[in-house]
Chain A
Amino acid sequence: MKDDSIRKLDKTKLPAWDETPLGWALLSEGSDDFKTGGWRSQHPVLDPEKCTSCLFCWIYCPDSAIRVKDGKMAGFDDSLCKGCGICSTECPQGAVKMAEGAGALQGGGVKK
């Protein structure tokens, strides 16, 4: 080990074996680096009229796909949402419905 400390992974280049963090302990905050958006075969659609921004979806999302702005639910992250539908199942207001296909969540997946 050149450096045995825990490091943030340098994503600009792939590390050699002696540059990997000891025990794969990472300073990054979670799975944001793994872009799972391409796995999606269904996509969530948010009904803003029903949403109370309780953020159950944010808590339950196994990725980091729920966008939050000023403490309010602000749609879904296209690169991370894998279409599992947990947000839809857990939403107490029934404000998230799943729709067929990968969809395009660039607009945040909010129903217009």
Chain B
Amino acid sequence: MKLLTRKVVGLTGDGAAAEAMRQIDPDVVAAYPITPQTEIVEKFAEYVAEGLVNTEFICVESEHSAISACCGSSAAGARTMTATSSQGLALMHEMLYIAAANRLPIVMINVNRALSAPLNIHNDQSDTFGSRDAGWIQLYCESVQEVYDTTIQGIRIAEHPEVQLPVMVCLDGFILSHSMERLELLSDAEVKDFIGEFKPRTNLLDLAKPITLGAAAMPEYYFEHRFAQSHALDRALERVAAVDREFGTKFGRSYNIVEAYQIDDAEIAVITLGSLAGTTRFIVDRLREEGIRAGSLKIKLFRPFPIEAVAAALKNVKAAAVLEKAISPGAPGPALFSDVLGALYHQGVKVSLISYIAGLGGRDVPPKSITRIYNHLQQIAETGRIDRILNYLDLRGWQ
């Protein structure tokens, strides 16, 4: 039993991300601390100070500078990582698009936190959902172990010759970032071997082979360039799945781009991502004990969106709810709901789909509230009628 020989430790989500970064030993890290990501940068700065990594750590004056430095170092041929959260990610916004369009394989840990105003440091997913069109691969984690594993996988995904795109590893603020869990670590050698040597595509410092990166593209070029980038992101889906499979074969843990639970014969299902997936699975078990055919679907890969996998998982479900921690003011529905709806339409799958927004600004989403969503779905499955599409869980004054 190979797995039993693994080093088992207790780490928080931030601690696990920092430990993965230590083992990855990137050439450059440029980051700015922000709650609840601070512990990642703090811990990694310690590793740098103690000489445990060979990383050039750049202390910057803002997140805009952090990601700008990352773009420069990645383009110069350095394996580059960063970490941020919420307002920090918002401040990075314009550079996120540039990192993706210049095809720079940067890996960023983002600790999901609500956006201001009002100021709030607690968890929801409005920060990374706001960056969903930036062209980054976005992976959401359910557990501390998944944060650790996904960070390591992220390097392989970003740097794959057919991908060459930045990757965002997302974990829920405090719920994962500050909660200590049992964690199985890989050895430094295993991580080094899995990620391999970085073979940069561009090297701006090679004076013998000068290149121009970041040139303007006028109307006769721009459209083709942006389509090529978008096409590359779509194609990355297969690569994300393949890296996860390889990780599973080597180390015994794999997550899939979506994870269906008890869905094959389910009549009702809740679709969600991040740490909510665990609570939802717990409710499914309870409902199954009562003979209710409930299931759940966790979406790990949010960009590129797994259209086929989501629709295939839901094809026999009568009624489903998308449960997400973000609001899209003025939109026909929130982001994840709209994407699931779009996926079903793409694949011609008919499901009575409703939306539940929950947990904004770190409000707890307890099991009993998720049970209420399933009760609502039972009613829709029985009557075949959707009474209300957009729903808000535990929102005072909303009936």
Contact = CB atoms under 8 A, between A and B. Distances in A.
14 contacts: A4-B162, A14-B220, A15-B221, A16-B224, A17-B227, A18-B228, A23-B103, A23-B104, A23-B213, A24-B215, A24-B217, A25-B211, A26-B213, A28-B212
A24 B220 CA distance: 13
Interface residues of B, number: 27
Contacts of A24: 101-102, 213-215, 217, 225
Interface string A5-25: 010000000111111101111
B4 interface: no
A56 to B, nearest CB: 23
A98 B232 CA distance: 48
A6 B201 contact: yes
A27 B224 contact: no
Contacts of B202: 6, 23, 25
Given A6-B211, A25-B211, A26-B212, A20 B224 contact: yes
Interface string B95-114: 00000011110000000000
Interface in B139-166: 161-162, 164
A6 B206 CA distance: 14
Interface in B189-242: 201-202, 210-218, 220-221, 223-225, 227-228, 231-232
B211 A22 contact: no
Interface stretch (A29-37, A44-52, A57-65, A71-79): A29-37
A29 B215 contact: no
Contacts of A4: 161-162, 164, 201
B145 to A, nearest CB: 33
B367 to A, nearest CB: 46
Given A6-B201, A14-B221, A15-B221, A26 B227 contact: no
B215 A23 contact: no
A34 B211 contact: no
Contacts of B215: 24, 26, 28, 31
Question: Is chain A's binding surface mostly helix, strand, loop or mixed?
Answer: loop
A112 to B, nearest CB: 36
A24 B223 CA distance: 12
Contacts, number: 70
Contacts of A19: 224
A25 B215 CA distance: 8
Contacts of B214: 24
Given A6-B202, A20-B225, A25-B202, 18 more contacts: A1-B228, A1-B232, A14-B224, A15-B224, A16-B224, A17-B227, A20-B228, A22-B228, A23-B102, A23-B213, A25-B102, A25-B211, A26-B211, A26-B212, A27-B211, A27-B212, A29-B212, A31-B216
B224 to A, nearest CB: 4
Contact of B201 (A15, A18, A22): A22
A27 B212 CA distance: 6
Nearest to B100: A23
Nearest to A23: B103
A30 B213 CA distance: 9
Residue from B164, B220, B225, B232 having most chain A Cβ neighbours under 10 A: B225
Contacts of B213: 23-26
Contacts of B225: 17, 20, 24
B39 to A, nearest CB: 33
A27 B214 CA distance: 12
A17 B212 contact: no
B212 to A, nearest CB: 4
A80 to B, nearest CB: 14
Interface string B320-351: 00000000000000000000000000000000
Nearest to A21: B225
A46 B8 CA distance: 74
Pick the 7 closest A-B CB pairs, nearest first.
A23-B103, A17-B224, A26-B212, A17-B227, A23-B102, A17-B228, A20-B225
A28 B161 CA distance: 23
Contact of A34 (B101, B161, B216, B232): B216
